[in-house]
Amino acid sequence: MNGSPTEDPIRLEGFGPRDLYQRREKIFTRYIGGIFQKLRFFTGWPLLTGYFLLPWLNWGERQAVLFDLPAREFHILGLTFWPQDLWLLGWLLIIAAFGLFTVTTLVGRLWCGYTCPQTVWTAIFMWVEQVTEGPRHQRVRLEQSPWTIEKLRKRTFKHAMWLGWAFLTGFTFVGYFTPVRELAVDFFTLDIAGWAGLWTLFFTLATYINAGWLREQVCIYMCPYARFQSAMFDKDTLIVSYDAIRGEPRGSRKRTAAAHELGDCVDCQLCVQVCPTGIDIRNGLQYECIGCAHCIDACAQVMDKMDYAPGLIRYTTEHELSGGQTRWFRLRSMGYGAAVVLMTCLFTAAVFLRIPFEVDVLRERGELYQHVAGNQIANQYRLRVLNKSQHAARLSLSLDSSLPLQALGVTHIDAAAGELLDIPLELTAPVDSIRVPNTEVRIQICEVDSDLCVSEVTRFLGPIE
Amino acid sequence: MSNIWHWFVIAGTIGSLVWFLWLLFANRQTSGDETTGHTSDGIDEFDNPLPAWWVGLFVLSIVFALGYLAYYPGLGNVPGTGGWTSTGQLEREQSAHDARFAGLYADLASLDQPALHSDRLARQVGRRLFINHCSTCHGVTGRGSAGFPDLTDDEWIWGAGFENVKSAILRGRTAIMPPWGPAIGEDGVADVTQTVLKMAGRQHDSAAAARGETHYKTVCIACHGLTGEGSAILGAPDLTNDIWLYGGSVEAIATGIRDGRTGMMPSQADLLTEDKAHVLAGYVTSLQSARAAAQ
């Protein structure tokens, strides 16, 4: 595609020897409405609302979603996860990755264009720009104008709103890790100190810099997903594309011009001006394209004004562009989809069949065995019992061994919610019952109310005559 | 770190920082060619510009490194202006930890012995302290082992009761049974062994026990008493029961008489505060009744 050099004064390419360290060219996006922008709006707000309100929900006595890092307890509604359950998180991330793969092979960069926080927050910040500094041409003029009171006022207002929104974002994020109600009181009474304050400041600044200043630089230079997804594209993946066959040769014309030699592209540059990553979609598929469909909506408006059919720039596939049909059911996407469904089922089963207790048995290190009163042999152990559930539990102890073992003093264990107990345990057996120096013992801990059990194998040592 | 390594580390650190800066400066312009000339599988490596803010981050990290090296010990043996040491950090963290739990221990230390035995938190804290500080010698269940007293029976060599136990924890105990072999000879040792077995009510040779009685009344009586009842003040064990700190076999008893024994309970005062020792003594004194209840 050999498009003429763009005439947009803001994006002029340099040629010849140049700085290896490239200045970021500021992109001034033009506001555009349209069906895909509405779609983003109506899918985005429920997600945003969820993000901002979730920490305020309570579950019983406690915040419904709280990742308590100092205590190493991760509460999600009625479930509490412990570091021992980290494999579940790994599982979840793998499912999320495969979900992303499935979506990407089918519909391309849907995540980037609609749901990625970088896109959503950038869109919000751009809206703030629109409100405080006016539409695109005014912002370009403001950028080039010398500092005046007016410019200072507009800029101050913009950055204040950016920072305000960034603070809400950072505060909410920290609210997932520390009780948000206490945090809010601390902030209102200006009694904020320590890590919570520092992390709020960090996430506020990170949001402000990412969505206000870095924007498309994150997608182009930092995001690994933007780069590796091309491995998942095929000729049937949905992409945002300009229909060159229909559009070329491009050129401006009068709206009333009836017959001409030109294609449908009127070369109005709107698709370039609305692009948040500053590319010209007419140059074909580029790695910078995040699939946000701003150019589709912009072009649709122009086509409508010109009384042309819409879809000069549209969601399409390489197959369709070259005159073929899109094949929706492909081995690769169906394979990814099947993997997601299967793993989600297994994950759900793993979460709900999880036994919320753990036991570890440590043999006493001081002595192998002891002769004790009553002609008995004693072995000492230390049980570490962890109650990972959200309720107090009464646990019973039972032994499975070929020896007539007795557990002295331990009949049941009462463990409060989330409690880790060290239980000294002495097992005894009559000397004359011991035939071999080393016998296997299975120590089983069962919850009395639920019959859920966990067990651990250890050894009982004795003398040989 | 020796002088050579000291300068090696300084030269390596500063040298690489300077080298990084030079790399950034020397590569500030490209040739203007579109590719670097590298080709692999028909794919050309483009010579694309790096974003300026990215370079800025490199420079910032070098500035940060200089600040870090000035403040923290990083350049060989140079201590850094901040005075940070790993020992200092450990001490700060320990004192922060102690301050955090001081209130809890103060509350527990206000409980008397029966309350310590019945309070769930006191028992749990006491058990943790016991496992951390005592179980190496006395065992996790307090059963002890050869040379380390069983804390679950009813013999208290240095005296029973809460205050005695607490005092043993804080001040430690040193018990010495002198070697009598050289003084009374091998026959004397064998005879006194029989005397001791008789006191314990065990099977013995009465003739030898009677001979040993003379030695006993000369040397043993001073600590173990006329009837072998022992002395809590001196830490001399009661010989009339069947509890033997170093093993109850005839050989073990004879060895004790011949070669003597040295028992050492180290003072925990450097490791435990008075409050912690109080909670711990509560736990230790509860072991005996817990075992009696279980049996």
Q: Sorting pLDDT into bands at 50, 70 and 90, what band is A4?
A: very low
**CA-closest candidate to residue A293, choices A27, A103, A48, A112:** A112
Q: A221 lies in which domain range?
A: 35-81+116-232
Kindly tell me if the per-residue pLDDT of B276 is higher than 80: yes
Residue A304's pLDDT band (boundaries 50, 70, 90)?
A: very high
DSSP B268-293: -TTTS-HHHHHHHHHHHHHHHHHHHH
Question: Residues of A with CB below 8 A from B53's CB?
Answer: 24, 214, 217
Q: A181 and A44 in one domain?
A: yes
Q: Is residue A367 part of a domain?
A: yes
Is A22 inside any structural domain? no
CATH placement of domain B96-172+266-294: 1.10.760.10
Mutate to test the interface with A, among B97, B132, B141 (most CBs of A within 10 A): B141
Choose from B30, B43, B53 for mutation: most chain A CBs within 10 A: B53
Report chain B's mean pLDDT, rounded to a whole number.
Answer: 91
Task: Compute the average pLDDT of residues B53-73.
Answer: 92
Most confident of A24-28, A241-245, A255-259: A241-245
pLDDT at A193: 72
Higher model confidence: residue B15 or residue B76? B15
Partners of B142 on chain A (C-beta within 8 Å) are 424
Q: What is the mean pLDDT of residues B70-94?
A: 92
> B277 to chain A, minimum CA–CA distance in Å?
19
Q: Which residue of A has its CA nearest to B141?
A: A424
Q: For A86-96, what is the mean pLDDT? A: 92
CB-CB under 8 Å, A382 with B30: no
Domain coordinates of chain B in residue numbers?
3-71, 96-172+266-294, 175-265
- Inter-chain CB proximity B28 and A20 less than 8 Å: yes
**pLDDT score at A1:** 35
Q: What is the CA A279 to chain-centroid distance, rounded?
A: 27
Q: What percent of chain A has pLDDT over 90?
A: 51
- Which pLDDT tens digit goes with each residue over A337-356? 999 999 999 999 998 888 88
> What is the nearest CA distance from A304 to chain B, expressed in angstroms?
39
Contact A366 B137 (CB under 8 A): yes
Measured distance CA(B198)–CA(A81) in Å, rounded: 62
Q: Identify whether residues A43 and A188 lie together within a single domain.
A: yes
**Cβ contact B232:B157 at 8 Å:** yes
| CATH code of residue A376 | 2.60.40.10
Question: How crowded is the C-beta side of B18, counted as CA atoms within 13 Å?
Answer: 6
Q: Which of A284, A125, A424, A198 is nearest to B138 (CA)?
A: A424
Q: The domain B175-265: what is its CATH number? A: 1.10.760.10
Adjacent-strand bridge partners of A386: A358, A420
What is the rounded average pLDDT of the residues B196-212? 93
Count of domains forming chain A? 2
Q: How many CB atoms lie within 10 A of CB B236?
A: 21
Contacts of B51 in chain A (CB under 8 A): 21-22, 24, 217, 221
Contacts of B50 in chain A (CB under 8 A): 20-22
- Indicate yes or no: CB of A422 within 8 angstroms of CB of B131: yes
Could you tell me which residue, A57 or A248, shows the higher pLDDT?
A57
Q: Are A464 and A411 spatial neighbours (Cβ–Cβ below 8 Å)?
A: no
The chain A residues in contact with chain B (CB within 8 A) are 15-24, 214, 217, 221, 364-367, 370, 372, 378, 380-382, 408-409, 421-422, 424-426
User: Which one is predicted more confidently, A34 or A4?
Assistant: A34
Encode B56-75: b = buried (16+ Cβ within 10 Å), e = exposed. eeeeeebeebeeebeebbeb
pLDDT in tens, B244-271: 999 889 999 999 999 999 999 999 999 9
| Chain B contact set for A19 (CB, 8 A) | 28-30, 49, 52
pLDDT at A410 over 80: no
Cα–Cα distance measured from residue B55 to residue A20, given in angstroms and rounded to the nearest whole number? 10
Domain final residue, candidates A206, A232, A258:
A232
Residue A9 pLDDT exceeds 70: no
Nearest one of A103, A86, A19 to A339, comparing CA atoms:
A103
How many other C-beta atoms can be found within 10 angstroms of the C-beta atom of residue B193? 24
- The 3-state DSSP class for residue A14 equals coil
At A12 the pLDDT is 38
Arithmetic mean of pLDDT, A270-294: 91
Q: Choosing among A15, A18, A21, A210, which should be mutated to test the B contact, i.e. which has the most B CBs within 10 A?
A: A21
| A22 to chain B, closest Cα gap in Å | 5
> Are B139 and A378 a contacting pair at CB < 8 A?
no
pLDDT of A19 > 70? The answer is no
Q: Mean pLDDT across chain A, nearest whole number?
A: 87
Q: Which of A232, A265, A292 is the last residue of a domain?
A: A232
Boundary residue ending a domain (A232, A261, A285): A232
> What is the tens place of the pLDDT at every residue in A365-395?
878 898 887 889 999 999 999 998 888 999 9
- pLDDT of A16 strictly over 50: no
Question: Residue A28 and residue A137: Cα distance in Å, rounded?
Answer: 8
